[in-house]
Amino acid sequence: MGVKVRERVEGSGVWWIFIDHKGRRKAVKVGSEAAANKAAKKMEEGFAKGAVLPSPRAKVLFRDHYKKWIGQHVGMSCEVSTVETYGDTWKNHVQEHFGNLTLDAIDREKIREFYRVKKEEGYARATIHNMRNVISGVIELAIDDKIVDVNPTLKTGKYLRDAKGKRDAEFLTPEEGRLLLDAARKFPVFYPFFLTALRTGLRQGELIGLRWDDIDWNGKFLTVNRTIYRKEAKIPKSGKSRKVDMSDQLLAVLHDHKRVLTAAALKAGKTLPEYVFTTRKQTLFDSTWVRDVFGRCLKASGLRAIPFHALRHSFASALIANGAPLNYVKEQMGHSSIRITVDTYGHLVPGANREEVNKLDDAGYWKSATPAQPAAVGFRNGVINQRYSDSPQICAT
């Protein structure tokens, strides 16, 4: 039986504690010689009082614990879309680097190397953070299961500082929006769909899930009560419903859209479908079909290729360009906090520059003030020191 302290590699400066107690052996890397000696002394005292070495932990592969994490923890507590996102992240990024490693073999050095590779491949900081969430989630479950003691992904964000930042939100100008709508007239069922997107900022799933009883024709607003994901109705992304004001033009177009659908339903011996936007067979829009028609309209109107979500950004940018308060934009968009609105659209606010600081000045100051004339210019401690005849001393810094 013994507890010894020495460098595993002589001259490395890294000290280890080598333990041989009641037939069990273990090596623990500590760091400095002083810390190793202190820890070794405590171990010897513990063994003298009857302490024993814990049984060696099982070697569990990362990929095996990922299956448990994604199937139990994520599968039971997250939306289907989140499960699919994590699944794609695992398959496309994490599995290759960590799948065949045991959980106890993953350390901060391997995490840093993973970040380096992904940054060199050009992935944005937010995308790599999503990869980190998968790795961290699996390891946190392993800690709960007492397979490992620490999570090496914690406090590693500093290694992502030079990764690509989030791209600015893409949007259409009002003129580009008109070109898109002109092209959409060739698809009568899609013209009111795209117009609603541009006038309300609803997400694609929220548009597909809009029902006629969600529209208040007298109050001139609609209520977002659901979103459609893979043909299933779910609560909106914010977790609650929200009211969105409707413009007079949109109200008129949707009223006419309802009239056309009602006439077609009566002709076919059917009733008006409960959803606002449906196919001729009264089935829900398919997201793939929406993206396909959207791409055709962009191409037909000579516009650049942009994601459908850009119509939501177009709505917000148009509000801001017309002087709408950011808090109103937040409420219309359904953001959980004003910070999201400011971070995404704050740079678009017109006049958010010199005119704002001028508002802080005393009224009439510039009318009464006269330009001050320099009386003398000196040089002190390597800094220009310019004194004015009618103002306090000002030092250039």
Pick from 77-91, 217-231, 291-305, 366-380: least confident: 366-380
Nearest Cα residue to 246 out of 254, 235, 238: 254
Q: Is pLDDT larger for residue 236 or for residue 54?
A: 236
Pair of tokens at residue 61? 């592969």
Mean local confidence (pLDDT), 155-172: 74
pLDDT score recorded for residue 346: 64
Arithmetic mean of pLDDT over the chain: 82
Per the model's pLDDT, the better-predicted residue between 298 and 366 turns out to be 298
CB 352 within 8 A of CB 365: no
Average pLDDT over residues 265-271: 93
Give me the mean pLDDT over the 362-372 stretch: 50
C-alpha distances in Å from residue 331, one per residue of 16, 204, 218, 242, 338:
59, 18, 20, 8, 9
For 117-142, b/e burial (b = at least 16 CB within 10 A) is: ebbeeebbbebbebbbbbbbbbbbbb
Considering 46-55, 263-272, 341-350, 369-378, the range whose residues carry the highest mean pLDDT is 263-272
The Cα 204–Cα 226 span in angstroms is 11
pLDDT at 379: 42
Contact 304, 298 (CB under 8 A): yes
What is the largest distance, in Å, between two alpha-carbon atoms of the chain? Answer: 94
**Band of residue 52 on the pLDDT scale cut at 50, 70, 90:** low
Q: Which of 273, 285, 275, 221 is nearest to 251 (CA)?
A: 221
Label residue 21 by pLDDT band (50, 70, 90). Answer: confident
Q: What pLDDT sits at residue 221?
A: 96
Report which secondary-structure segment, H or E, holds 211.
none
Stretch 300-307: mean pLDDT: 94
pLDDT at 64 over 70: yes
The pLDDT value given to residue 362: 57
Quote the CA–CA distance of 382 and 360 in Å, as a whole number. 33
**Which two three-digit tokens encode residue 375?**
């009386």
Adjacent-strand bridge partners of 233: 228
Confidence (pLDDT) at 213: 97
What band does 163 get if pLDDT is binned at 50, 70 and 90?
low
Q: Region 251-276: what's the mean pLDDT?
A: 94
- Mean pLDDT on 92-104: 94
Q: Which two structure tokens, joined as six digits, stand for 77? A: 């507590």
For the entire predicted model, the pTM comes to 0.59
Per-residue pLDDT, averaged over 367-375, amounts to 47
Question: Which residues lie below 8 Å from residue 367, measured CB to CB, with a gap of 6+?
Answer: none
> Among residues of the chain, what percentage have pLDDT more than 90?
44
